[in-house]
Structure 1
Amino acid sequence: MTEIKIEKKKSIFPWILLALGIIAAIWFLFFRNQEVVEPMETETTRENTQVPESNGAVNAYLMFIEDTEADMGLDHEYTNDALMKLTNAVEAKASETNFDVSDNIMKAKQIAEEITKDPMSKDHANKIRSAADILSSSMHNMQKEKFSNLTAEGNAVKTAAESIDPATLTLDQKDAVKSFFRTSAELLKKMN
């Protein structure tokens, strides 16, 4: 004779309880608080970086450093733009305060232009460091002579320039280069 096996049907009851438990948990977490939360109105204020119209170059540099979303890339356009704007700002501030930096400005502009000539060159960091040293020395000397109350800021610019390592590729030390640009902007802002 053949044997007939009868299998007992598995209960679906535990699955129904699990589904009800999940639904109850979702309801508890999301729908238990019926209060309508009014969105808060926030007022965005931006630090005023406007400088007198007579010094548009400083204003242009400050706005470039604050507002730019550009990042340093292989073409070094950002670095070139920042160095050129910083050079122009230092030149304008020196002119405004009757401080002579003309030799240093010419050297810094020449170096800034060289950066974009050969994008694959491995000595960009060396050139950026040279320009940073020239500009930080100019700003530091101007600060010592004309703005003696800004000693800490002048020293910060020198330190930021010295933190750029000529032996390291520029893209490997973006933070150090950007830090130099930011500390320079802070000093120029306080000189106004």
Structure 2
Amino acid sequence: MAEIKIEKKKPVWPWILAILVILGIIAYFIYENPDRDNLTDDFDDDTTNEQVMESESRPLDTVGTRRDYQVGSSYDQYAAYEGSIRDSTRIALDSSYTKKAYYNLSKAVAKKAEENNVENSQALTDLQDFSMLITKVSSPLSSSESAKNFKTASDKVAKVLEDIQVKSYPELQSQIADLKQVTSKMDGSISMDKQQANITEFLQKSRDVLKAMNN
């Protein structure tokens, strides 16, 4: 009688495992990578792109909403302001340069007030909505109308800086007093180009106060 050879069946599970691994890899590339790219894009849109547009491309008259103050720390805002007043020869003579300096100053002061939980006031609200404060300054700096609006902005900056100082920086009382004295010398009825020294001193003393608050 002839012997019947019975071959043992090869196990199927290695093939099943291999197929599952391949399907897992395919699913990873299909589903995981697009989500990761989208997250990266969202992060970039909310930070880098917004900051670049804000600082380089958007005109000052169209910015100044409260969302601007959510970007960066008070030190970042201070650094931007410090950089915008380095050329003192253009202050009160160059309209765009002066508006940018005041815009950056308002942002830095408002952000510092936010970090110190300073009680809200009309002056602080106006700094947060800076575009509403300065949009009327469309005439040359040699006009009294421009001087009036920049005088208002200076008064509000000094007021909020004083509120911050009283709440968190008692040692800066004398510096705030000096700043308020300089602000009082600014005249809203005299064109800015004729009081360049006072305006330059105000911007520089504001810088010094902010620097002391960030140390």
Contact 1:101/1:138 (CA < 8 Å) preserved in 2?
Answer: no
Superposed CA RMSD in Å reads: 2.1
* AA partner of residue 84 (structure 1): Y
Q: How far apart are 1:121 and its partner, in Å?
A: 4.0
* AA partner of residue 58 (structure 1): Y
Q: Cα 1:114–1:156, aligned 2, differ >3 Å: closer, same or farther?
A: same
For 1:68-107, what aligned pairs fall within 5 Å after superposition?
A: 68=87, 71-72=90-91, 76-101=95-120, 103-107=122-126
Contact 1:129/1:162 (CA < 8 Å) preserved in 2?
Answer: no
Matching residue of 1:118: 139
Q: How far apart are 1:141 and its partner, in Å?
A: 1.5
Deviations, residues 1-24 of structure 1 (Å, cap 9, x unaligned): xxxxxxxxxxxxxxxxxxxxxxxx
**Any unmatched runs of 5+ in structure 1?**
1-52
For 1:135-174, what aligned pairs fall within 5 Å after superposition?
A: 135-174=157-196
Contact 1:140/1:157 (CA < 8 Å) preserved in 2?
Answer: no
TM-score by length of 2: 0.58
> Once structures 1 and 2 are overlaid, which stretch shifts more, 98-107 or 149-158?
98-107
**Any unmatched runs of 5+ in structure 2?**
1-71
Contact 1:58/1:92 (CA < 8 Å) preserved in 2?
Answer: no
Deviations, residues 144-171 of structure 1 (Å, cap 9, x unaligned): 1110010111111111111111221110
TM-score by length of 1: 0.64
Matching residue of 1:63: 83
User: May I ask how many residue pairs the two structures share in their alignment?
Assistant: 138
Higher percent of residues as helix: 2
* AA partner of residue 110 (structure 2): E
